[in-house]
Amino acid sequence: MFTIKRKIVLIAILSAASLFAQSIQYTAYVKVVSSIPEYENSIESTPIKECWDERVPVTYYTTERSQYRNDNTAAAVLGGVAGGVLGHQIGKGRGKDVATIGGAILGTIAGGNMASENRYDTAQRVPHTRYETKRHCTTKYDEKRVRNFIGYKNVGYYKGKKIVKYSDRKLRNIPITVTISY
């Protein structure tokens, strides 16, 4: 078989040959036999905004005060009569008239004050409803299928091998690079 010297010589010869190996490159043009348009299907969405007005109830509260009063007139008259009777019984002689009048005045004041003490105030929250117009909106989408042109598929054959090149227009020839090594 091969000795080590022969192996070294063979490697040297092959290395030298590869240093001097050459190749030739050139451009060849392959005739296009078919140009087929290519399309892509997609869905196109268009937003549509729909709005409407709606009347909605709005509740709000107010504070209302109520005053309940007894009639002071009846109480004052009753107090005046009672005070006059009481004053008439206390006084003597000419002082009896003064005591009767004074008792009537004091009874009227006392009866009126007693009636005033029987009044009371209340405060309460009273609900009220009014209607307001509110605007509501929603977005819907109108979808449609769209067929988009993406280009031409140009097909040719070089030495029995199928060559395909995509482009935005039909081609007559497809340029290819041919390399020959020796």
In the predicted model, residues of the chain with pLDDT beneath 50 are none
Domain spans, the chain: 70-118
Sequence-separated contacts (24+) of 77-84 with Cβ below 8 Å? 77/108, 77/111, 78/111, 79/107, 79/108, 79/109, 79/110, 79/111, 79/112, 79/114, 80/104, 80/105, 80/107, 80/108, 80/111, 81/107, 82/107, 82/111, 83/107, 83/108, 83/110, 83/111
Q: The whole model's pTM is what?
A: 0.39
Please tell me the predicted confidence (pLDDT) of residue 57: 92
pLDDT at 70: 56
For 64-94, write each residue's pLDDT tens digit.
876 655 566 777 677 667 766 776 777 677 7
Q: What local confidence, expressed as pLDDT, does residue 31 receive? A: 95
Q: What is the pLDDT of residue 40?
A: 94
